[in-house]
C-alpha cells in the first residue's frame, strides 16, 4: 500500500542571527542553513497494517508524513501510496487518505457537526447510499449521535476528537494518518478512540500510520513500529522483537509482613551482583528488585525474602516499551 524508497528531504533556510541587530544582519545576509530532516528512508507498509511511526522531537516524523500525504516533495527518492505519487497527484491522493491531528481540528468551528459531515460528503463525492452506511457504522463505533447537531466549538475535547476521526473516515480512505490522536483525552475516551480505530481497521482493512509520543497507544494498536532518529530509520520491526532485544530488565515488588526482618540481608552480597545488575529499594511494607533477567531468577528472590518474613503479595513487571524506547532515543540502538 505504501512504498517509501530512499526518500530524503533537505530544508534550506536563511541563517538567523540573535537579537535585533542579528535580525537586520539576516536581512542582508545570503548565508543559508541546510537541514537534512529525512535522510534516505525506505520501508513498505501493506494494506491493513497498523504501524507506529515514532521518534523523539525533531526526528523527522512530520516531514516524512508530509511527503507521504503529498504536502511536501522529497529532495530525493520517492514514495507511492496505493500506486499514486502523493506530491505529484495531490487530489487523487486526497481521496485515498484520511488525516487526524490531535493538536488541531479539521472541522469547521462554527458549523454544527451534521453540516460539516454533509459538506465533506460533497467534497469527497460520496454517494447517498455510501454516506448513509458509513454514517451508521461510524456512529456505532464512535457514538456521536448525542452531539451531532452541536456546533463544533461547543464540543468537549473527547467529543471533538471522535468527530475529527469520523470526518477523516467519511470517504472510506485506504490509509489513515493519525498524529497524536489521543493527546489530552481521559482514559475512558482514550480507550474508546483506540477501540474505534481497531474496529475500523478490522472492518475495512484500513492501513493506519500512527504517530504519537504516547507509547501505550502504540502498544494497544500496533504490532509493528518504525523508529526514526535524526531523519533515519533506526528500527523497523515488531514490538515483541524490540522487547526481546532490549527488554532485559525485570522488576518485582514483594509486599511483606515485616519489612524490619529484611534489614540485615544484603541482597547484593547474597546474589553476588553489583548495583548495575540489581537495584533494591525498600518502602514501608514492601521491597522492590529491579534486575537483569539473564542473571537472576525471580524464584531465588522470593525464597530469599521468605527466609526473612512472610509474603503478602508479589507484583512482577517486565520492561515497558516506554523505557526501552526512552533508552533508544537517548543512546541509539
Task: Write out the residues near ligand ATP by the rule CB under 6 A.
Answer: 11, 13, 35, 37, 55, 57-63
Angle CA 229–234–238, to nearest 5:
120
Q: How many CB atoms lie within 10 A of CB 280?
A: 18
CB of 167 to ligand ATP, least distance (A): 22
Instruction: Return the sign of the alpha-carbon dihedral for residues 212, 213, 218, 221.
Output: negative
Q: Which residues contact 28 (CB under 8 A, 6 or more apart)?
A: none
Helix or strand or coil: residue 167? Answer: helix
Is the CB of 37 or the CB of 138 nearer to ligand ATP?
Answer: 37
CB of 161 to ligand ATP, least distance (A): 18
CB of 179 to ligand ATP, least distance (A): 8
The single residue listed with the C-alpha cell 507506529 is 52
Helix spans in the chain (H): 19-28, 61-68, 90-96, 113-123, 128-142, 157-169, 187-204, 215-221, 239-246, 267-271, 298-308, 321-331
Is the CB of 180 or the CB of 199 nearer to ligand ATP?
Answer: 180
Is the CB of 62 or the CB of 206 nearer to ligand ATP?
Answer: 62
Cα–Cα distance list, 287 to 261, 266, 267, 308 (Å): 11, 13, 11, 12
Extract the C-alpha cell encoding 97. Answer: 487518505
CB of 52 to ligand ATP, least distance (A): 13
Is the CB of 53 or the CB of 144 nearer to ligand ATP?
Answer: 53
Is the CB of 66 or the CB of 174 nearer to ligand ATP?
Answer: 66
The single residue listed with the C-alpha cell 451508521 is 136
CB of 207 to ligand ATP, least distance (A): 20
Q: Say if strands 50-54 and 207-211 run parallel, antiparallel, or are unpaired.
A: parallel
Cα–Cα distance list, 211 to 52, 62, 99, 305 (Å): 6, 8, 11, 43
CB of 99 to ligand ATP, least distance (A): 14
Is the CB of 63 or the CB of 182 nearer to ligand ATP?
Answer: 63
CB of 211 to ligand ATP, least distance (A): 7
Is the CB of 73 or the CB of 317 nearer to ligand ATP?
Answer: 73
Amino acid at each position: 500500500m505504501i512504498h517509501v524508497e530512499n526518500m530524503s528531504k533537505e530544508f534550506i533556510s536563511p541563517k538567523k542571527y540573535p537579537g535585533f541587530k542579528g535580525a537586520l544582519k539576516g536581512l542582508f545576509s545570503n548565508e543559508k542553513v541546510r537541514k537534512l530532516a529525512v535522510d534516505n528512508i525506505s520501508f513498505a507498509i501493506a494494506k491493513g497494517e497498523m504501524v507506529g511511526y515514532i521518534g523523539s522531537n525533531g526526528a523527522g516524523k512530520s516531514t516524512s508524513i508530509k511527503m507521504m500525504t503529498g504536502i511536501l516533495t522529497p529532495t530525493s527518492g520517492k514514495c507511492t501510496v496505493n500506486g499514486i505519487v502523493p506530491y505529484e497527484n495531490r487530489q487523487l491522493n486526497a481521496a485515498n487518505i484520511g488525516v487526524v491531528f490531535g493538536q488541531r481540528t479539521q472541522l469547521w468551528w462554527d458549523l454544527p457537526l451534521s453540516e460539516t459531515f454533509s459538506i465533506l460528503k460533497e467534497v469527497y463525492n460520496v454517494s447517498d447510499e455510501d454516506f448513509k452506511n458509513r454514517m451508521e457504522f461510524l456512529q456505532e463505533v464512535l457514538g456521536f449521535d448525542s452531539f451531532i447537531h452541536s456546533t463544533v466549538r461547543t464540543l468537549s475535547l473527547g467529543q471533538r476528537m471522535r468527530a475529527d476521526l469520523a470526518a477523516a473516515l467519511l470517504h472510506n480512505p485506504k490509509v489513515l494518518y493519525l498524529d497524536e490522536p489521543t493527546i489530552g483525552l481521559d482514559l475512558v475516551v482514550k480507550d474508546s478512540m483506540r477501540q474505534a480505530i481497531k474496529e475500523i481497521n478490522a472492518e475495512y482493512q484500513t492501513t493506519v500510520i500512527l504517530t504519537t509520543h504516547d507509547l501505550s497507544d502504540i502498544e494497544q494498536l500496533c504490532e509493528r513500529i518504525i523508529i526514526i532518529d535524526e531523519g533515519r530509520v533506526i528500527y523497523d520491526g515488531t514490538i515483541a522483537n524490540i522487547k526481546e532485544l532490549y527488554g532485559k530488565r525485570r522488576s518485582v515488588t514483594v509486599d511483606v509482613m515485616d519489612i524490619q526482618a529484611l534489614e540485615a540481608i544484603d541482597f547484593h552480597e547474597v546474589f553476588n551482583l553489583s548495583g548495575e545488575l540489581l537495584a533494591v529499594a525498600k518502602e514501608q511494607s514492601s521491597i522492590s528488585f529491579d534486575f537483569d533477567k539473564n542473571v537472576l531468577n525471580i524464584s531465588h528472590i522470593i525464597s530469599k525474602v521468605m527466609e526473612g518474613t512472610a509474603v503478602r503479595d508479589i507484583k512482577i513487571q517486565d520492561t515497558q516499551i516506554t523505557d526501552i524506547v526512552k533508552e533508544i532515543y537517548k543512546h541509539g540502538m
